[in-house]
Amino acid sequence: MTRIRANCPGCGEVDLTPPEVTLRIVRAPDGLVGEGSTYRFLCPDCDELVTKPADERIAQLLSNGDVPIEEFGDIDQLLELLLPPHPEAPADAPRLTADDLLDLHELLAGDDWFERLLAS
Ligand SMILES: [Zn+2]
């Protein structure tokens, strides 16, 4: 089986097998390996998850070595997977309008906004 030599920040060079590495490719608009592409592995010596940026050359080398690939159409798809949903943007809440903002501004300009907040 192919062996992959990678670098752990704590342990230096480590040898891995292809299934131990995951290549995450974010496609650039031109179809090449884009910004945000990474490869990662669990270091066999210290158990740290190591994530490193992957450029076109690294992605080519790893995919030729039969490393499993997760592919994303663009960076937003990847972020959707990595980030929790935004807590301040519930899908079914009404949008903040310019009028709401003006009301808030006028409320905060008064002296009693904190008391009113506590009372609400
Ligand atoms: Zn390590």
DSSP string, 1-47: ---EEEEETTTEEEEE-GGGEEEEEEBPTTSSB-TT-EEEEE-TTT-
- Dump pLDDT digits (tens) for 14-48: 999 999 999 999 998 888 999 999 999 999 999 99
Cα 12 to ligand 1 centroid, rounded to whole Å: 7
Q: In terms of pLDDT, which residue wins out, 66 or 89?
A: 66
Cα 87 to ligand 1 centroid, rounded to whole Å: 35
The pLDDT of residue 51 is 96
Q: Residue 70 belongs to what H/E stretch?
A: strand 69-72
- Dump pLDDT digits (tens) for 76-104: 888 888 887 777 666 677 888 999 999 99
Cα 4 to ligand 1 centroid, rounded to whole Å: 15
